[in-house]
A = this chain, B = another copy of it.
Amino acid sequence: MLNPYRFFDPEPDVRKIAFELYTSVKDLPIVCPHGHVDPKLLAENRPFPDPAELIIIPDHYIFRMLYSQGISMESLGVPTRDGTAVATDHRQIWRLFAEHFYLFAGTPTGIWLAHELAEVFGITEKPGADNADKLYDQLQEKLASPAFLPRALFERFNIEVLTTTDGAADSLEYHHKIRQSGWRGKVLPCFRPDAAIDLLRPDWKQEIAALGKASGVDIHDFNSFIEAIEVRRTFFKKMGATSTDQGIVSPYTHQLSRAKADALFQRGLKGQATADDAALFTANMLMEMARMSVEDGLVMQVHPGSFRNHNRIVFERFGLDKGADIPLQTEYTKNLHELLNKFGNDPRLTLIVFTLDESTYSRELAPLAGHYPALRLGPPWWFHDSIEGMTRFRERVTETAGIYNTVGFNDDTRAFPSIPARHDLSRRIDANYLARLVARHIIDEADARRMIRALAYDLVRGAYKLS
């Protein structure tokens, strides 16, 4: 059973206030402005196949921990791209997971799973070797029923809007299908052109070709590349998008002349771009994307500081997003200087910055966000989307930037059924943070009530233009 006071401080005053604050927002609709749910799921609305396929195989949060403790990804059924055979007995995969569920004690993954099992599936036992089969059967049975179809869950989860993440050349076919289906769930795309911007990607030229095709622009130089990006942004916007996203190594920003940018682009086309070329090209594209956002009003998101695919063996066998993206130290004060000087005072821009480097919260990001009108801070990201991580974020950011320069919560998930668990955790932790302020007479209860609503609902709708 999930304890109703879970995650709140045990001190009775804090717990009582936190519970009241949480209660005031727990039934507000869920707003998901950034995530990785596949729109196909909601377009086709087919049943989830089985517990392993639902919970284990697609979720790198889960299999990276098991892998770190010596359990092979093949034995967990994670699909390979080099043809290596993997386990296909999904019940056996579930057993392996259940036997090692104790590894997740104290982690957000453990918390999300407990919530998902209990609240979505009515299972309140902790998975283990002894009950693995029973739980598998219970889950299997639920998944086969209409109440557990994706759209039914979307409605039951009370999701007001769900934003996906889509490549620049994406046809948005499944978004079309959802719109045409007559179903009223609001699912929006987000424009993420990373594959077209990173000159070093092995598939960059294919992506440019795809982008040309999708946009109807003959891309042969930087100007036509920019035109194609603009065409696609317009299309995404027409399809309901309110935001863009970019994942980059460094948030370095620097405006190049069109001629210099084109020289880099041409080297990319010839396969001659160096690492420096690619970094400079990205720095300039951040400037271009900010300019476009000023013009078309799409909210700009930037996610820097991840060393992608750190483990080559895992990457070569299993591909992207396998739990081997590792954070890097990141610098914002100097790197964002040029972009913020050019666009940071412009009321037409909303720039939402994320980080994997918590040392920048109080040192760089809160001071920047507490000054520049265009800048807002994204919620704690990835490894930091956790009880301690979210608490550290509020404690280090609020005193300098307040809460109104932050943008509420992002679940950032590809695990659709974990969405309520993630938002519930966030609402509880923000409530607990505010309760600690009330109990210490830093804010009063009226402040706290306004603030918990802002953190749970108002800020995200405002910042992402979703209201």
- Count class of interface residues, chain A: 35 or more
> Taking CB as reference atom, which chain B residue is nearest A347?
B70
Q: Is the CB of A10 within 8 A of B439?
A: yes
Q: Which residue of B lies closest to A432 (CB)?
A: B440
**Do A450 and B102 touch (CB < 8 A)?**
yes
Note all chain B residues with C-beta closer than 8 A to A375.
68
**8 Å CB contact of A69 from B69, B329, B373, B395:** B373
Determine whether A402 belongs to the interface, using a CB cutoff of 8 Å to chain B. Answer: yes
Residue in chain B with minimal CB distance to A363: B327
B326 touching A367, Cβ below 8 Å: yes
Interface residues of A in 205-254 (CB under 8 A from B): none
**A340 with B311: CB separation less than 8 A:** yes
Asked if B341 and A313 sit within 8 Å, CB to CB, the answer is yes
CA gap between A439 and B3 in the complex, in Å:
11
Least distance between A56 CB and chain B CB atoms (Å): 16
Query: What per-residue 1/0 map shows which CB atoms of A94-115 lie under 8 Å from chain B?
Result: 0000000011111110110000
Chain B residues within an 8 Å CB radius of A159: none
User: In angstroms, how far is the closest chain B Cβ from the Cβ of A440?
Assistant: 5
In the complex, are the beta carbons of A107 and B400 less than 8 A apart? yes
User: Do A7 and B442 have beta carbons less than 8 Å apart?
Assistant: yes
Identity of the chain B residue whose Cβ is nearest the Cβ of A346 in the assembled complex: B313
* Contact of B347 with A357 in the complex, beta carbons under 8 Å: no
A386 in contact (CB, < 8 A): yes
User: Is A331's CB within 8 Å of the partner chain B?
Assistant: yes
Contacts of A367 in B (CB 8 A): 325-327, 383
Query: Which of B11, B359, B364 sits near A326, CB closer than 8 Å?
Result: B364
- A351-393: CB near B (< 8 Å → 1, else 0) gives 0000011110011101111111101000000011011110000
Q: Which residues of B contact A347 (CB under 8 A)?
A: 70
- Point out the residues of chain B lying under 8 angstroms from A383, CB to CB: 362, 366-367, 399-400
Contact A363 B357 (CB under 8 A): yes
B residues near A46, Cβ cutoff 8 Å: none
> Contacts A310-B337, A440-B6 known; A399 to B326 CB distance under 8 Å?
no
A9 interfacial contact with B, CB 8 Å: yes
| Chain B minimum-CB-distance residue to A398 | B106
- In the bound complex, do residue B440 and residue A9 qualify as a contact, i.e. CB atoms below 8 Å apart? yes
Q: How far is the CB of A17 from chain B (nearest CB, A)?
A: 9
Q: CB-defined interface of A108-138 with B at 8 Å, one 1/0 digit per residue?
A: 1011000000000000001000000000000
Question: Contact mask A1-39 → B, CB, 8 Å, 1/0?
Answer: 011011111110110000000000000000000000000
Contact at B6–A10, with CB atoms within 8 Å?
no
Contact of A103 among B14, B388, B404 (CB under 8 A): B404
Number of copies of this kind of chain in the complex? 3
Within 8 A of B (CB), among A301-355: 307, 310-314, 323-329, 331, 333-334, 337, 340-341, 344-345, 347
Report whether B326 and A69 are in contact in the complex, using a CB–CB cutoff of 8 Å: no
In the complex, which residues of chain B have a beta carbon less than 8 angstroms from the beta carbon of A369? Answer: 68
Contact indicator A344/B388 (Cβ below 8 Å): no
Q: Mark A405-440, 1 if CB is under 8 A from B, else 0.
A: 100000000000000000000000000000011011
Look across to chain B and name the residue whose beta carbon is closest to the beta carbon of A3.
B441
In whole angstroms, what is the CA distance A344 to B313 when docked? 10
Q: Which of A64, A310, A401, A437 has the most CB of B within 10 A?
A: A310
**CB distance A333 to B313 under 8 Å?**
no
**A residues lining the B interface (CB < 8 Å):** 2-3, 5-11, 13-14, 64-65, 67-70, 102-108, 110-111, 126, 307, 310-314, 323-329, 331, 333-334, 337, 340-341, 344-345, 347, 356-359, 362-364, 366-373, 375, 383-384, 386-389, 395-396, 398-405, 436-437, 439-444, 447, 450-451
With A328-B333, A328-B364 known, 8 other A-B pairs at CB within 8 A are A3-B441, A64-B370, A68-B371, A310-B371, A313-B345, A326-B364, A328-B363, A329-B363
Pull 26 A–B residue pairs with CB atoms less than 8 Å apart, ordered by A: A3-B441, A7-B442, A10-B11, A10-B436, A10-B439, A67-B373, A68-B370, A68-B372, A69-B404, A69-B405, A102-B450, A104-B402, A105-B451, A106-B399, A107-B399, A126-B444, A310-B337, A310-B341, A310-B368, A325-B367, A326-B364, A358-B359, A358-B363, A359-B363, A386-B400, A388-B396
